Amino acid sequence: MIKAENTPKLTTESLILRKFTYTDLEHFYTIFKDDEVTTFMPWYSLKSLEEAKGFYERKFKSVYENAAGYHYAICLKENNIPIGYIKANIEEPYDFGYGLKKEYWGQNIVVEAGKTLLAKLKENGFPYVTATHDVHNSRSGSVLKKLGFSYKYTYQKWWQPKNILVDFRMFQLNFGDNGHIYKGYWNQYAIHYVEENV
């Protein structure tokens, strides 16, 4: 059985993964106001600190209150200031996701954070996790591969709230040798296919 409660804090060699709080709002805002950072995220860039407060309450605080998933701020140990986020949902398909301020891209920070979170998910009974990314976001695919995910299939959908047609690659990491592939997206969307050499 999956443990639904959030572990308050995880640590790595150079990072702290912890819950966001109201005192983080300015840093939270700087993460999610950048159009380049939010290009492949399922929401628009935030436009004000007040909007950031509401977004934090809907997307993170509500999770902490309802034990609906593992949602963490990624912070550097040197100052404990959020520079990104990483999360996993506790309901199938156990979606894994992340975001990071662009000045920290290419430094394997998400890989370091992800390995620690994935180890906790395995320990807490998750059978597998999935992650999806836009086919145009190849950097995300590279991160997932470094974390041990493998590509399974691609599906096409109208993506909300941005209302654009997107081909998503679905990756999966099984915690065991069961060979299970989550087919929910494949079955839900009429256009689906397997790419070669992904």
Query: Does some domain include residue 2?
Result: no
- Position 148 scores a pLDDT of 97
Query: Does some domain include residue 75?
Result: yes
Cα 183–Cα 185–Cα 191 angle in degrees, nearest 5: 110
A 10 A CB-CB count for 127 gives 15
Query: Does some domain include residue 1?
Result: no
pTM of structure: 0.94
Cα 169–Cα 150–Cα 12 angle in degrees, nearest 5: 105
Q: How many independent structural domains does the chain possess?
A: 1
Answer yes or no: is pLDDT of 184 > 90. yes
Question: Percent of the chain beyond pLDDT 90?
Answer: 87
Query: Does some domain include residue 3?
Result: no
Query: Does some domain include residue 4?
Result: no
Query: Does some domain include residue 36?
Result: yes
CATH number of the domain to which 145 belongs: 3.40.630.30
The continuous run of DSSP H or E covering 70 comes out as strand 69-76
A 10 A CB-CB count for 4 gives 14
Q: What's the domain range around 126? A: 9-193
Render pLDDT for 121-151 as a digit per residue (tens, 0 to 9).
999 999 999 999 999 999 999 999 999 999 9
Q: Which residues pair with 131 in a beta bridge?
A: 171
Query: Does some domain include residue 81?
Result: yes
